[in-house]
């Protein structure tokens, strides 16, 4: 059964790696989704393992939050693109010393 | 009750001053401070010396944190309140006499400061003490900033941060003490009952002492003072040197000596030595100062050094000397700064090299100047002598050699005071000053009470000594019971 | 009578207050009379006390005015002790003081600040009375400082002249150096005897049995030497004497009163009063003797070449004070006080006479420009001559008896000490007669204008001269050595009534005493004759140009460069230290630390801000790192 855990960890790490090192904002959003889904998978696994439905219920919460978050995020992304003409995160450095 | 009246009446008066507008601000302010002085005198008349604390007021405030509005006056508090209320009218009169623009703001600020100062001297709750301590800093900051000379911004900033730095340690110590009380309270009675271990006492002692040492100031924490005194407007300097520095001395008397007595016995020697080094050091520097205001600033450090040495002398003569000299120094230094203000107004400068021969044009000024000068070098029959003499007795009992070094102040004091007096007042009349006039009636109205106070307290110091004797004995008792063998 | 005792100091104080507060309203001509009247009042009351004392009816009495300072066990009161010693000094102070007040009415009558002058003079008498009347050391100290203040005010009376102001400042500061010693000695007395009152201290002291018969108890030595340091300052002994010659900047009556007859004798009073303590500290007495003798000789050597009439007298005063301390160092307290008395009369007389001369010369003080004044100013001359004979020690004038008493004590200690004393006495004779001859004998050497102006001084000035001359003649008879009259030593017994120890009975045979006296006398007379030959017969004049002086003369004329040494060794270094402290130590060291903390905060802020790179990825990396670390700590540790 630990294979599931390993799978989720790999997925989570891939997602984290993507957030930290990719320059394209869309790709960062996709990586965030990947991390969220990895956690979802883990929750389902443990809910089946402990025969506790509350894990799967929580998955729904996460999916709703993910949807809301990605909506706002993409809206902001569109506005950034209109402003800067690019969606590379390197252009967003104004909040510095 | 009268304590609450004494604390809050100046605040009300500050508001009234603001409302009175520019024309009447001065009158309202001076009347209010004189009225306040009469309140203080009536408190003095009705003082019951059988009780240690009089006029107590106790109102729960933030009960969950053990903070109460607890105020009262014992002999020492009352003496300092008398000093404050006596000096404020003089300080306001100086402001009127000088040329402070936007005077009503100044009067309002000075009145707020008076309230805060009286609050410090009468608090019986440690947190309330801290609140008033910090509160007193705000008006003086504005006074120095708004009406100071061209250096005022960096100098006032340094003064503010330096003082706050000390207060930070004081706050830590205060909270620490609070946590040690079983009743979780800041009240004076519970803090006094604490018995802390040696290390605990050492920590509390140094934390509190640092704040007070910066305020007084004691060598080597004094470097903010000459610049601040020089750059501040003269009424501001009077507030600083006449009253505010007494907060530091009072803090040691009220919140260090009875609270951490074994730390006092252990570390007192170091404090005394720092104080005495400060006396000689500041006196030597004063000799060659060219700006008279800076000179008097250093003189103040020297005088306070002697008082601070007396604080740790572990003798009743020393501590009574501390009280007496606090009052004497307050009166004398305000007198000196008033004379400085007059000189500045008449001649436009305080540089010793440019002044000279003023006695020819202003003989009455010279007379008052010499009287106040002699009081500050402790001529017998003046207030300066009684206090200084008692301090010397106390310090000598503590350690005769330290007293010998401290005694250099009587020689060096004569040197810098007489030299500077000679440079300002004596000699041939300088033609550029031929048109200055002698003292006006208003100026005499300020100087005469000062001179009267000098001689009354010089000849009859027992007026104050009898008042403060029970409280001093109580404080001394708590210090001495830590000694293994009765002294 | 005792109820009026408080009036004695109160009258001069009242005079001071009236003259200073109502300065503008008092006509200049009356201020002197008011001041003198006050002193006369005090004098009359003192006289009644003196009569009582002389008849042996004055028990030491303490009169308490009020409680002054009370703190714990310290109960200081403002109280007076009236006994034979204090009453004697009070008489001198008020008596000579009164004469000088009267003299000043004429001398200062055309000065602008004459009312101010008399107010200060009255304040001085008040302080000096306080000094000698006090029943404890603190009241003495109060008077001590008070006379220091008055000395400052009076030396610098003509404040337009910065040299005079410097002299006044110097006097005050040097006095203060001595005062520190006095204060510390006083505090040591308090810690030892738990009181400042003379009666308590001396009672306790006399009960101390010295466990070490071969040396001093250390405490007694410390107390006495510290008190003596105070006396050194006030009574101008080496090394604190240089202020006195400079103090001649003040008006001449001031020099007469303060720097001859009264203030400078305060040191001797203090030691005479504390004689019980000093008798327990023989080492200190030796030191006192040495310093007294050295001062007597040094000052006399300087006086040999001085050309300002007042400076000669100033150095003479320093030298005579040395004699008084010489006496005390040999245990002769009554001899010291005796010399104080006779010296008060003849020195005041000399100064007032000099004032008369200066007045007549229109302000000139250089004796090289005087001469032949004896014809023009007969009264001044006669009285001056009497005083000079007295100071030289010619019998039957008072100076002879008092000086002889000291020399006799010296011989008993050792012939060498006697020799030194005689040497100093001969030097005294030389320079005093030199001054007398140059001023009053021979031809007048001044300008024509001055010659026209020469006249005898008015009555108000000459009458005090005559009164003082009278006392100079007769005051010696209060203490006559028993070779002449058995039981003639009235004064020692009088002082014994105030617990002043009698000197030890003399071990000298009568013939030895007479031989000593006549030897000294013969030497003195020879010096008078020699001086006459030099300055009158051969008309030798002191050089007008300093370059013409020989090396020794130059050394003496320049006061052995002591002032210059003090300036270089003490005054300048302190100035350098002051500048160094304020510029270097203050700014570079202490303030550096303070500013350093501010700079440190600024510096770290400047550098840490680079973490805010604005790069979101970097922030995200830090976040993840932080989470991992926290998880690690919680799970593993």
pLDDT given at position B485: 47
Residue C548 has pLDDT above 80, yes or no: no
Residue C343 has pLDDT above 70, yes or no: yes
Residue C540 has pLDDT above 80, yes or no: no
> Would you call A97 and C620 a contact, using CB atoms and an 8 Å cutoff?
no
pLDDT given at position B183: 84
Q: Is residue C623 within 8 angstroms of chain A, CB to CB?
A: no
Residues in A whose CB is inside 8 Å of some CB of C read: 16, 19-21, 89-90, 92-97
pLDDT given at position C213: 53
**What was the ipTM of the complex prediction?**
0.92
What are the chain A neighbours of C622 within 8 Å (beta carbons)?
none
Which range, of B478-482, C339-343, C371-375, averages the lowest pLDDT? Answer: B478-482
- Cα–Cα distance, C619 to C635 (Å, whole number): 24
A neighbour chains, 3+ CB pairs within 8 Å: C
B neighbour chains, 3+ CB pairs within 8 Å: C
> Would you call A95 and C620 a contact, using CB atoms and an 8 Å cutoff?
no
Which range, of B198-207, C210-219, C296-305, C369-378, averages the lowest pLDDT? Answer: C210-219
**Low-confidence residues in chain A, pLDDT < 70:** 1
- Cα–Cα distance, B476 to C213 (Å, whole number): 41
Phi and psi of C281, rounded to 5°? -135, 75
What are the chain A neighbours of C609 within 8 Å (beta carbons)?
97
How far away is chain C from the Cα of A86, in angstroms, using its nearest Cα?
Answer: 16
pLDDT, tens digit, for every residue of C514-534?
Answer: 888 888 889 889 988 888 888
C window 592-621, beta carbon within 8 A of A: 609-610, 612-617, 620-621
Q: Is residue C363 within 8 angstroms of chain A, CB to CB?
A: no
Residue C150 · residue C125 · CB < 8 Å: no
Nearest residue, CB atoms, B411 vs list C66, C180, C594: C180
Q: How many Cβ pairs within 8 Å bridge chains A and C?
A: 28
pLDDT given at position B458: 92
Which pair of tokens denotes residue C257?
Answer: 């009163």
pLDDT given at position B43: 92
Read off the CATH number of the domain in which A16 is found.
1.10.287.3510
Instruction: Decide: residue B48, CB within 10 A, 0-12 exposed, 13-18 middle, 19+ buried.
Output: exposed
Q: Is residue C212 within 8 angstroms of chain A, CB to CB?
A: no
Considering the domain boundaries, does residue A62 fall inside one? yes
pLDDT given at position B487: 40
Both ends of chain C: CA-CA distance in Å? 96
The residue-averaged pLDDT of C374-393 equals 90
How many folded domains does chain A comprise? 1
How far away is chain C from the Cα of A13, in angstroms, using its nearest Cα?
Answer: 11
Residue spans of beta strands (DSSP E) within C497-590:
none
- Cα–Cα distance, A94 to A72 (Å, whole number): 21
C42 pLDDT band, cuts 50/70/90, is very high
> Would you call C68 and B462 a contact, using CB atoms and an 8 Å cutoff?
yes
> Would you call C598 and B288 a contact, using CB atoms and an 8 Å cutoff?
no
Residue B359 · residue B323 · CB < 8 Å: no
- Cα–Cα distance, B139 to C629 (Å, whole number): 48
What are the chain C neighbours of A16 within 8 Å (beta carbons)?
624
Considering the domain boundaries, does residue A97 fall inside one? no
Taking residue A50's Cβ as centre, other Cβ atoms within 10 Å add up to: 10
> Would you call B411 and C72 a contact, using CB atoms and an 8 Å cutoff?
no
Residue C566 has pLDDT above 60, yes or no: yes
Selection from B241, B193, B192 nearest residue B91 by Cα: B241
Taking CA–CA distances from B403, the nearest residue in chain C reads: C184
Residue C538 has pLDDT above 90, yes or no: no
C111 pLDDT band, cuts 50/70/90, is confident
- Cα–Cα distance, C349 to C462 (Å, whole number): 10
Mutate to test the interface with A, among C620, C626, C628 (most CBs of A within 10 A): C620
Nearest residue, CB atoms, A89 vs list C613, C616, C624: C616
What are the chain A neighbours of C625 within 8 Å (beta carbons)?
none
Structural domain range at position A14 = 2-91
pLDDT given at position B483: 55
What are the chain C neighbours of B75 within 8 Å (beta carbons)?
none
Locus of tokens 């010399």: C339
> Would you call C614 and A21 a contact, using CB atoms and an 8 Å cutoff?
no
Taking CA–CA distances from B294, the nearest residue in chain C reads: C582
Nearest residue, CB atoms, C173 vs list B367, B415, B427: B415
Beta bridge partners of C64: C79
Contact flag for A and B (3+ C-beta pairs < 8 Å) = no
How far away is chain A from the Cα of C628, in angstroms, using its nearest Cα?
Answer: 12
> Would you call C624 and A16 a contact, using CB atoms and an 8 Å cutoff?
yes
pLDDT given at position B102: 65
Phi and psi of B70, rounded to 5°? -120, 110
- Cα–Cα distance, C239 to A96 (Å, whole number): 73
What are the chain C neighbours of A35 within 8 Å (beta carbons)?
none
pLDDT given at position C149: 94
What are the chain C neighbours of A89 within 8 Å (beta carbons)?
615-617
DSSP secondary structure string, C325-378? HHHHHTT-HHHHHHHHHHHHHHHHHHHHHHHHHHHHTTT--BGGG---HHHH-H
For the CA atoms of B381, B453, B329, B154, what is the dihedral angle to 10 degrees?
A: -150
> Would you call C624 and A20 a contact, using CB atoms and an 8 Å cutoff?
yes
Nearest residue, CB atoms, C617 vs list A20, A94, A96: A20
Taking CA–CA distances from C161, the nearest residue in chain B reads: B427
The 8-class DSSP code of residue B64 comes to G
> Would you call B465 and C69 a contact, using CB atoms and an 8 Å cutoff?
yes
- What residue spans define the domains of chain B? 271-481
Q: Which residues, other chains included, contact B243 with Cβ-Cβ below 8 Å and sequence gap of 6+?
A: B83, B84, B87, B117, B330
What are the chain C neighbours of B404 within 8 Å (beta carbons)?
180, 184
> Would you call A95 and C612 a contact, using CB atoms and an 8 Å cutoff?
yes
C window 313-352, beta carbon within 8 A of A: none
pLDDT given at position B486: 40
Residue C390 has pLDDT above 80, yes or no: yes
Phi and psi of C66, rounded to 5°? -160, 165
Nearest residue, CB atoms, C617 vs list A89, A94, A96: A89
Beta bridge partners of B6: none
**Low-confidence residues in chain B, pLDDT < 70:** 99, 101-102, 482-487
Nearest residue, CB atoms, C609 vs list A89, A93, A97: A97
Considering the domain boundaries, does residue A55 fall inside one? yes
Give the three-class secondary structure for B72.
strand
What are the chain A neighbours of C613 within 8 Å (beta carbons)?
93, 96-97
Nearest residue, CB atoms, C582 vs list B285, B381, B385: B285
Q: Is residue C625 within 8 angstroms of chain A, CB to CB?
A: no
């Amino acid at each position: 059964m630990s294979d599931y855990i390993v799978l989720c960890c790999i997925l989570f790490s891939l997602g984290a790696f993507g957030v930290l090192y990719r320059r394209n904002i869309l790709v960062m959003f996709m990586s965030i989704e990947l991390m969220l889904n990895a956690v979802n998978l883990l929750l389902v696994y443990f809910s089946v393992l402990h025969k506790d439905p509350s894990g799967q219920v929580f998955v729904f919460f996460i999916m709703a939050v993910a949807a809301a978050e990605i909506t706002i995020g993409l809206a902001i992304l569109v506005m950034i693109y209109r402003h800067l003409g690019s969606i590379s995160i390197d252009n967003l450095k104004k909040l510095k010393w | 009750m009268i304590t609450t009246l004494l604390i809050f009446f100046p605040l009300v008066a500050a508001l009234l001053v603001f409302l009175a507008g520019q024309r009447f601000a001065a009158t309202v302010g001076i009347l209010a401070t004189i009225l306040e002085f009469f309140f203080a005198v009536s408190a003095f008349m009705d003082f019951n010396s059988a009780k240690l604390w009089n006029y107590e007021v106790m109102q729960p405030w933030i009960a969950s944190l053990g903070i109460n509005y607890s105020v009262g006056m014992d002999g020492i508090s009352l003496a300092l309140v008398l000093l404050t209320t006596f000096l404020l009218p003089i300080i306001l009169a100086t402001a009127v006499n000088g040329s402070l623009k936007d005077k009503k703001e100044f009067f309002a600020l000075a009145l707020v400061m008076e309230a805060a100062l009286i609050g410090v001297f009468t608090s019986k709750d440690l947190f309330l003490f801290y609140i008033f301590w910090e509160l007193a800093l705000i008006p003086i900051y504005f006074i120095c900033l708004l009406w100071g000379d061209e250096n005022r911004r960096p100098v006032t900033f340094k003064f503010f941060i330096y003082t706050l730095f000390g207060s930070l340690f004081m706050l830590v110590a205060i909270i620490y003490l609070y946590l040690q009380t079983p009743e979780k309270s800041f009240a004076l009675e519970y803090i006094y009952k604490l018995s802390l271990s040696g290390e605990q006492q050492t920590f509390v002692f140094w934390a509190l002492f640092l704040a007070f040492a910066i305020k007084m100031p004691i060598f080597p924490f004094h470097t903010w003072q000459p610049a601040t005194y020089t750059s501040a407007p003269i009424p501001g300097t009077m507030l600083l040197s006449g009253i505010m520095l007494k907060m530091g001395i009072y803090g040691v008397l009220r919140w260090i000596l009875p609270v951490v007595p074994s730390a006092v016995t252990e570390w007192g020697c170091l404090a005394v030595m720092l104080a005495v080094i400060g006396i000689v050091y500041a006196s030597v520097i004063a000799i060659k100062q060219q700006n008279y205001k800076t000179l008097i600033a250093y003189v103040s450090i020297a005088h306070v050094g002697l008082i601070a040495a007396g604080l740790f002398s572990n003798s009743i003569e020393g501590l009574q000397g501390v009280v007496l000299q606090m009052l004497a120094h307050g009166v004398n230094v305000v007198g000196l700064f008033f004379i400085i203000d007059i000189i500045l107004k008449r001649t436009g400068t305080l540089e010793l090299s440019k002044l000279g021969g003023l006695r020819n044009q202003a003989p009455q000024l010279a007379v008052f100047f010499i009287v106040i000068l002699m009081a500050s070098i402790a001529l017998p029959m003046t207030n300066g002598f009684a206090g200084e003499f008692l301090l010397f007795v106390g310090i000598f009992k503590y350690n005769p050699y330290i007293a010998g070094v401290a005694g250099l102040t009587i020689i060096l004091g004569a040197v810098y005071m007489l030299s500077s007096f000679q440079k300002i007042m004596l000699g041939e009349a300088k033609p550029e000053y031929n048109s200055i006039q002698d003292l006006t009636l208003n100026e005499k109205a300020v100087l005469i009470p000062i001179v009267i106070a000098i001689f009354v307290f010089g000849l009859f110091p027992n007026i104050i000594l009898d008042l403060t004797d029970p409280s001093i004995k109580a404080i001394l008792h708590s210090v001495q019971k830590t000694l293994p063998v009765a002294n | 009578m005792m109820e009026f005792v408080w009036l004695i100091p109160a009258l001069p104080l009242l005079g001071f207050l009236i003259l200073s507060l109502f300065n503008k309203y008092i006509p200049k001509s009356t201020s002197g009379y008011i001041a003198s009247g006050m002193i006369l009042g005090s004098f009359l009351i003192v006289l009644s006390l003196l009569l009582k004392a002389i008849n042996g009816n004055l028990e030491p009495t303490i009169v308490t005015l009020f409680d002054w300072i009370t703190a714990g066990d310290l109960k200081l009161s403002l109280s007076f002790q009236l006994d034979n010693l204090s009453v004697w000094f009070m008489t001198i102070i008020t008596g000579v003081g009164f004469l000088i007040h009267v003299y000043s009415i004429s001398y200062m009558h055309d000065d602008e600040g004459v009312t101010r002058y008399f107010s200060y003079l009255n304040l001085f008498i008040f302080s000096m009375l306080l000094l000698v009347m006090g029943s404890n050391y603190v009241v003495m100290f109060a008077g001590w400082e008070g006379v220091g203040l008055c000395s400052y005010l009076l030396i610098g009376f003509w404040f337009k002249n910065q040299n005079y102001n410097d002299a006044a400042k110097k006097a005050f500061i040097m006095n203060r150096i001595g005062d520190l010693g006095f204060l510390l000695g006083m505090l040591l007395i308090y810690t030892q005897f738990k009181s400042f009152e003379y009666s308590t201290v001396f009672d306790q002291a006399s009960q101390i049995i010295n466990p070490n018969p071969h040396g001093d108890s250390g405490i007694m030595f410390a107390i006495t030497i510290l008190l003596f340091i105070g006396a050194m300052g006030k009574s101008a002994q080496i090394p604190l004497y240089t202020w006195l010659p400079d103090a001649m900047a003040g008006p001449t009556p001031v020099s007469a009163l303060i720097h001859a007859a009264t203030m400078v004798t305060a040191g001797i009073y203090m030691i005479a009063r504390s004689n019980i303590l000093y008798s327990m500290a023989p080492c200190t007495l030796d030191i006192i003797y040495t310093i007294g003798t050295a001062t007597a000789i040094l000052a006399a050597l300087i006086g040999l070449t001085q050309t300002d009439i007042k400076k000669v007298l100033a150095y003479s005063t320093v030298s005579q004070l040395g004699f008084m301390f010489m006496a005390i160092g040999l245990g002769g307290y009554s001899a010291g006080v005796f010399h104080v008395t006779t010296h008060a009369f003849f020195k005041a007389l000399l100064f007032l006479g000099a004032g008369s001369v200066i007045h007549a010369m229109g302000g000139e003080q250089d004796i090289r420009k005087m001469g032949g004044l004896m014809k023009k100013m007969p009264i001044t001359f006669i009285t001056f001559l009497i005083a000079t004979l007295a100071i030289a020690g010619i019998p039957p004038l008072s100076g002879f008896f008092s000086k002889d008493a000291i020399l006799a004590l010296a011989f008993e200690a050792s012939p060498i000490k006697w020799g030194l004393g005689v040497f100093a006495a001969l030097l005294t004779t030389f320079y005093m007669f030199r001054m007398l001859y140059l001023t009053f004998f021979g031809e007048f050497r001044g300008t024509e204008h001055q010659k026209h102006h020469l006249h005898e001084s008015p009555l108000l000035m000459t009458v005090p001269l005559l009164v003082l001359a009278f006392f100079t003649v007769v005051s010696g008879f209060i203490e006559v050595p028993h070779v002449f009259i058995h039981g003639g030593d009235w004064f020692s017994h009088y002082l014994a009534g105030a617990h002043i120890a009698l000197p030890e009975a003399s071990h000298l045979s009568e013939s030895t005493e007479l031989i000593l006296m006549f030897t000294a006398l013969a030497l003195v007379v020879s010096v008078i004759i020699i001086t006459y030959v030099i300055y009158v017969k051969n008309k030798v004049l002191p050089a007008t140009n300093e370059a013409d002086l020989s090396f020794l003369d130059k050394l003496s004329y320049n006061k052995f460069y002591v002032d210059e040494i003090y300036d270089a060794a003490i005054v300048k270094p302190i100035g350098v230290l002051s500048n160094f402290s304020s510029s270097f130590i203050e700014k570079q060291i202490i303030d550096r630390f303070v500013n350093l903390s501010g700079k440190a905060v600024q510096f770290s802020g400047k550098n840490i801000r680079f973490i805010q790179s604005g790069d979101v990825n970097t922030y995200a990396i830090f976040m993840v790192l932080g989470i991992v670390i926290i998880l690690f700590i919680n799970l593993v540790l």
